[in-house]
């Protein structure tokens, strides 16, 4: 399998001795303590842990929303801690995509406009933007929703539009923060199916942050955090594969 081959190549994400400390003196909070983690390209990983374990902090750092207090973070061979704010924004726009817990579509834009937005911030030409947006909507099987506004969609549909928006610019890394948190079970499994299909078909590296063990069982590898430290890192043995994944498209 392609993933097996890539295990030995250079990792996409390389984190060493990474710490994040908030506050000072008595009120100091060690959100992350000297974490070491490497994630390969084409991996689908779940970041697990209870609230307060540091998983959101780690995701903010991975997404270039936050900077580590110490330690290093390499993404695709580049030192992310050295980027300036502006460079961070532009790197994020081009290479990192997000799916959030809430339905984070802009309510006043149509599905297609929402999907085009990150590419427009990345200064991509309009025609190419349109083409990639339609491709992404097609990949998630929701082209028919392209002219609808978020208020005219179900939760699952909206979250799939959000995923389409995330993958349309062909990012290196897709970060999903509790992507099923706001959804009912059925919509949730539709969304997880979408992630698995995407992973299968495009090979994008996916990191899902969740506290739900059922959700993490959809990934290939689980990293568990507690009190700012990694307490477990293992491959998923009985991986749940949502119906149709791998069979519908090849």
* Residues in touch with another protein (CB under 8 A): 60, 63, 65-66, 85-86, 89-90, 92-94, 98, 100, 102, 104-106, 108-109, 113, 117-118, 120-122, 165
Q: What is the rounded CA–CA span in Å between residue 129 and residue 133?
A: 6
Whole-angstrom Cα distance, residue 34 to residue 112? 42
Residue closer to another protein, measured from CB, 30 or 95: 95
SS3 content of the chain, % helix, strand, coil (to 5): 40, 25, 35
96's enclosing H/E stretch is: strand 96-99
At its nearest, how many Å lie between another protein and the CB of residue 86?
6
Give the strand order in the sheet containing 70-75.
29-39, 13-22, 70-75, 78-79
Q: How far is the CB of 92 from another protein (least distance, A)?
A: 5
Closer Cβ to another protein, 33 or 60, answer by number: 60
Buried b / exposed e over 135-155, threshold 16 CB at 10 Å, is ebbebbebbebbebbbeebeb
Beta pairing class for 29-39 and 44-48: unpaired
Q: Enumerate the β-bridge partners of residue 224.
A: 48, 232
Q: Which is nearer to another protein, 94 or 199 (CB)?
A: 94
CB of residue 117 to another protein, shortest distance in Å: 5
Closer by beta carbon to another protein, 82 or else 86: 86
Distance set, CA 124 to CA 90, 93, 110, 116, 129 (Å): 12, 11, 19, 9, 6
Take residue 247 and report the two structure tokens written for it.
Answer: 């069979």
Nearer to another protein, 163 or 222 (CB): 163
Which tokens belong to 155? 């939760």
β pairing state of 44-48 and 221-226: parallel
Least distance (Å) between residue 54 CB and another protein: 14
Closer CB to another protein, 114 or 189, in the complex: 114
Q: In whole angstroms, how close is the CB of 64 to another protein at the nearest point?
A: 9
**In the complex with another protein, which residue's Cβ is closer, 67 or 131?**
67
What is the nearest approach in angstroms of another protein to the Cβ of residue 71?
A: 18
Question: Closest approach of Cβ 85 to another protein, in Å?
Answer: 7
CA distances from 8 to 5, 25, 76, 117 (A): 6, 43, 15, 35
Tell me the β-bridge partners of 235. Answer: 221
């Amino acid at each position: 399998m392609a993933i097996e081959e890539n295990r030995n190549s250079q990792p996409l994400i390389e984190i060493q001795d990474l710490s994040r400390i908030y506050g000072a003196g008595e009120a100091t909070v060690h959100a992350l303590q000297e974490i070491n983690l490497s994630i390969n390209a084409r991996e689908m990983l779940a970041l697990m842990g209870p609230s307060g374990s540091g998983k959101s902090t780690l995701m903010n750092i991975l997404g270039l929303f936050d900077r580590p207090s110490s330690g290093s973070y390499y993404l695709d061979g580049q030192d992310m801690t050295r980027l300036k704010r502006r460079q961070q924004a532009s790197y994020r726009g081009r290479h990192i995509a997000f799916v959030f817990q809430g339905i984070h579509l802009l309510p006043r834009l149509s599905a297609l406009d929402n999907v085009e937005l990150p590419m427009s911030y990345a200064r991509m030409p309009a025609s190419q933007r349109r083409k990639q947006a339609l491709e992404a909507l097609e990949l998630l099987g929701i082209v028919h929703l392209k002219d609808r506004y978020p208020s005219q969609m179900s939760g699952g549909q909206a979250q799939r539009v959000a995923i389409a928006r995330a993958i349309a610019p062909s990012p290196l890394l897709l970060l999903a923060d509790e992507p099923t948190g706001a959804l009912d079970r059925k919509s949730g499994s539709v969304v997880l199916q979408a992630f698995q299909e995407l992973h299968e078909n495009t090979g994008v590296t996916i990191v899902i942050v969740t506290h739900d063990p059922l959700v993490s069982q959809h990934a290939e590898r689980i990293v568990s955090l507690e009190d700012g430290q990694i307490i477990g890192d293992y491959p998923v043995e009985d991986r749940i594969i949502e119906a149709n994944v791998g069979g519908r498209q090849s």
